[in-house]
A and B are shown apart, each in its own frame.
Chain A
Amino acid sequence: MPTKHSQGPGGDEILFAPVLRTGRGFYVAAGILLAVAVWGAYAYTVQLRYGLGVTGLNRPVAWGFYIVNFVFFIGISHAGTLISAILRLCKAEWRRPITRAAETITVLVLFFGLGSIIIDLGRPDRLFYVLQYGRLQSPLLWDVTSITTYLTASTLYLYLPLIPDLALLRERASGWRRHLYTAISLGWRGTPEQHRRLERGISVMAVIVIPIAVSVHTVVSWVFSMTLQPMWKSTIFGPYFVTGAIFSGIGALIISMAAVRRAYRLENYLKPVHFNSLALLLMVMSLLWFYFTFAEHLTAYYGGELAEGAVLSAKVAGPYAPEFWSMVMLNFVIPMAILANRRTRTVTGSVVASASVLVGMWLERYLIVIPTLANPRLPYPRGFYQATWVEWSITAGAFALFILLYMVFTKLFPIISIWEVREGREIGIREAYERMEGYLPSDEGRAPVVEPAGALR
C-alpha cells in the first residue's frame, strides 16, 4: 500500500507545465511589463535627484498617490493570507486550487506597500532612523511593526505548503533549479510524520496570520484616524479599512486566478464553481463596504460640523464628485448588478466585477486621503492636488513590476498547490463525507445513511 499522500510522478502534468516550460507569450508580456517598470524606476530617479517637488504634492495636500498606493497595496495583500487562512480553518474543500495564488499575492504585494512608503519619503536615505530612533507613540512605527510581522508570517505561510510541491519539482527539474528545489524542499520525503508536522505548522500559521492581517489594516487606518483631521478622525476606520482590504483582495485574487487559468489552461482546476464561491464572497464584501461607507458619510453629514461638512461636500458635490460617484458605481452598483444575478455570475462576470472593484477601491483610498488634506480645519491653506507624470509613472511601474513578479513566481513554483489538490482527491472526499456524517443526528433507530455512489473511490 502506498503512503496516504502518493508521491508518484503521474498525474496533474498541466500543473507542472508552467514551471518546466516557458512559451513566447510569457517573454513578450514580461518584456512589456519590464519596460513599464523601468520607466517607473527612471521617474523615481528623477524624484530622488530633484526632490518631491517634481510631484504634484503641495501644501496642504502633502500626501498623494504614494500614500494612496500604500493603502491600496496593503489592502490587496489581504487577498491572500486572510482568505486562504479562513478557508483552510473552515475546511472549505474548494480552497485547494486557490490558496497558493492568494498567498503569493500577499507576499509580493506587501513589498510594494512598504515600497510606496519609502518612495513617499523626502529622505529615503534616512530610512533606518525609524529603527534607530523609533518613537513608539507614532502610528507610523505601529505600521512598520505590524507590516514586517505580517510579511514574515505570510512568507512562512506561503512557504510551508510549498514544501511538498518543491519536493515534487526536485524530481523533475534539472540544472540549477534542481539544486534550488533540493535545497529549499528541506529534505521532504512525504513520510506520515513529516505530513503530520507540516499540517500542524500550516494550521498554527493559519491561526496566527488572521489576527495579524486584521491588525495590519487597522493600523494602516490609524495613521489617518489618530490625527485630528476632519473625516479622518473616525472610530470605524479600522473595520472600514479591513473590509475594504478584503474586498479589494478578493477582486485581485479573482483576476489573478482568471489570468493563470487562461494562460496555463487550468480550466480543469479553476472551475466556474471556484469563481462562483469567490464571487459570492465579493458580493458580500461589496454590501459590507457600502454599509460602512454609508455610515461614515451619514454621520459626517448629520452632525453638520463645519470642517467635516467642507470635506464631505467637496467629495459628494465638489471637485471630487466625479471620483466619488465613480467609486460608488464601481464598488457597489456594478459588482452588485453583475454578481447578484446567477446568470451573470460567471467567470467573465466575476472578472469584470473584480476589475471594477479594484479601480473603485483605489479611488476609495484616494478619496480618503486627498479631500481631507485639501480642506483643512483652518481656511488658510487651501489646495488641490494634481499628480504629475512622476507619480503616474511610478504608480504604473509599481503595478507592472508586481504583475511581472507574480508571473515570474508562477515560473518558479506551481501556482496551484499540487499536493493539496491530490490530497483533496485522495483523502479530502472521504474526510468531507465523514464530516458530513458527523453533522447529522445519530439516532440508532433510523436506517443508516446511504453512501452516495462514487464518494469513496
Chain B
Amino acid sequence: MARWGMVIDLDRCTGCQACVVACKAENNVPVVSPAGAQAGRLMLWMTVIPEVEGEFPRVRARFTPRPCMQCENPPCVKVCPVQAMMKSPEGIVSHVFARCIGCRFCVQACPYGVTYFNWQAPAWPADLREALNPDFSIRPTGVVEMCDFCHHHLQHAREMARADEREVRGEGEYVPACVQSCPALALIFGDLDDPNTAASRLAHSPRAYRLLEDLGTAPKVYYLKEG
C-alpha cells in the first residue's frame, strides 16, 4: 500500500503563497476577518511562515510552507476521545467533522500547531461563497479541522484507477491542491515507499529533514534545507 508523503524544497519556495490560496479554495476553509486574525483565529490549513534572519543590510528571508505533517505516529489521533481524528490504512490523518465534539484535545496534543478550531460560524464574502468547492463539506461552528492531504483527491484518483482495474500510481494521479498550484515546483508529492517517485528519492536526500524529528512523531512531510 502506498505511503503518501510530501517533500518541500525550501530552495525553490519563493513565498508566493499560491499553495495557501489553493488550499483555502479547495477545502472551503472559512475566511477570517482581520480582527479575528489579530485575535489568533486565522484558519490556514496550509500556511507559509516567513522568517527574517540577520540585520540590515545583510538580511535574508526564509519561507517555510507548513501543511499538516501527517505523522506516522500522530499525537492528535491518540488523544481524540471520540475517534473523530483518525489515521487511514494508507497513513493519511484526517478528521471526521460530524463526529468532533470540539474538546480541542488534538489542538493541545499537536506539537506542530496545525489543527484549527471553528470559533465562530464559518463565513465567506458573497463572491467566495459562490465559489465553494462542492466536493468537500463545510464545517459547522465548534469543531476542529485540519489538512488531510486533500484526501478527497485520493478518493477520486482511486475511483479512476478502479475503473482501469489497477492501483493508484505512486506519482501524478493523486496530488493535493497545494502541490498542484506551486509554480516553483517546490512541493513534491508521491508514494514514499515507491523508490521510483521523486518524493521518495528526495526524502532520502542528505538535505532532507523533518520538523521536531526527535519527538518521535515521524512526519511524512520532508523539508529540503536551503543549500
Contacts and interface: CB of A to CB of B under 8 A. Distances in A.
Interface of A: 50-53, 57-63, 117, 120-124, 126-127, 129-130, 132-135, 137-141, 144, 223, 226-229, 373, 376-378, 380-381, 383
A45 to B, nearest CB: 14
A259 to B, nearest CB: 35
B75 A122 contact: no
A227 B74 CA distance: 11
Which of A60, A120, A378 gathers the greatest number of chain B CB atoms within 10 Å?
Answer: A378
Chain B residues touching A, range? 35 or more
Given A50-B120, A122-B103, A122-B117, A227 B109 contact: yes
Contacts of A383: 40
Contacts of B39: 58
Interface in B80-134: 80-84, 99-105, 107-109, 111-113, 116-121
Given A137-B78, A378-B113, A121 B105 contact: no
Contact of A120 (B66, B80, B103): B103
Interface in B36-92: 36, 39-42, 47, 49, 66, 75, 78-84
B135 to A, nearest CB: 24
A383 B42 CA distance: 12
B79 A378 contact: no
B111 A138 contact: no
Which of B49, B66, B81 gathers the greatest number of chain A CB atoms within 10 Å?
Answer: B81
B79 A226 contact: yes
A51 B141 contact: yes
SS of B interface (majority): loop
Contacts of B101: 121-124, 126-127, 129-130
A135 B103 contact: no
Contacts of A228: 75, 109, 111, 215, 217
Nearest to B96: A133
Contact of A51 (B81, B120, B144, B212): B120
A62 B107 contact: yes
Which of A51, A123, A226 gathers the greatest number of chain B CB atoms within 10 Å?
Answer: A123
A122 B82 CA distance: 14
A53 B119 contact: yes
A63 B104 contact: yes
B80 A378 contact: no
B80 A123 contact: no
Contacts of B99: 126, 129, 133
Contact of A135 (B83, B211, B212): B83
A57 B144 CA distance: 14
Which of A52, A62, A121, A226 gathers the greatest number of chain B CB atoms within 10 Å?
Answer: A62
A211 B121 CA distance: 43
B143 A381 contact: no
A373 B117 CA distance: 15
B15 interface: no
A290 B6 CA distance: 48
B113 A141 contact: no
Given A122-B118, A123-B100, 18 more contacts: A52-B102, A53-B41, A53-B120, A58-B41, A60-B40, A122-B103, A124-B101, A133-B83, A135-B82, A138-B105, A139-B105, A141-B81, A229-B108, A377-B111, A378-B111, A378-B113, A380-B66, A383-B40
A63 B103 CA distance: 9
B142 A121 contact: yes
Contacts of B143: 122-123
Q: Give me the 6 closest cross-chain CB pairs, A-B, nearest first.
A: A122-B102, A122-B142, A58-B40, A53-B119, A53-B120, A140-B81
Which of A50, A52, A63, A121 gathers the greatest number of chain B CB atoms within 10 Å?
Answer: A52
A52 B111 contact: no
Contacts of A226: 78-79
Nearest to B36: A53
B142 A123 contact: yes
A61 B107 CA distance: 9
A166 to B, nearest CB: 38
B108 A381 contact: no
A138 B203 CA distance: 32
Contacts of A133: 82-84, 99
Given A51-B118, A52-B119, A60-B113, A130 B82 contact: yes
